[in-house]
Structure 1
Amino acid sequence: MTELNGPTWRKSSRSSDQGNCVEIADNLSAVVGVRDSKDMTGPVLLFPAQSWQNFLREVKENGHG
């Protein structure tokens, strides 16, 4: 299991204001953390930083973001 050291969480710019929010921590060295803002002590999904960047690029290039 990867330990998260000092994540700084922020809401996705695409999250709604109605509590349906995704938060990301992209200040970590090799991974990006993703969690549900309604469950801050719940599980965190971890993605390799490069994979996260590839995902964002793909979403933006295909008109989904």
Structure 2
Amino acid sequence: MNTARHGMPDLSGAKWRSSSYSGGNNECLELAHGIPVFAPVRDSKNPSGPVIPFGRAAWGTFVAHLG
């Protein structure tokens, strides 16, 4: 995987997934899987928009506190 400026990996070939709880209405966050250091998140309504690169530990903590 290529790494762009600031250590953010090239996400052009990333596999994005949304939550199974979203109901397929395309109004949720998507997470790119298989990125070793980051948990890249984007808005499913704007797939070409900005990506927020959460650290894996921070994303895990966030998800653990959701339910």
TM-score (norm 1): 0.73
CA distance in 1, matches of 2:49, 2:40: 12
Which ranges in structure 1 are unaligned for 5 or more consecutive residues?
A: 61-65
The one-letter code matched in structure 2 to 1:46 is: P
- Residue identity (%): 33
> What root-mean-square deviation, in Å, do the aligned CA atoms of Structure 1 and Structure 2 show?
1.7
CA distance in 2, matches of 1:17, 1:26: 18
Which ranges in structure 2 are unaligned for 5 or more consecutive residues?
A: 1-5
CA distance in 2, matches of 1:55, 1:21: 16
The residue that corresponds to 1:4 in the other structure is: 10
**What is the total number of aligned residue pairs between the two structures?**
60
CA distance in 2, matches of 1:9, 1:17: 14
Within 5 Å, give how 1:1-65 maps onto structure 2. 1=6, 2-5=8-11, 6-60=13-67
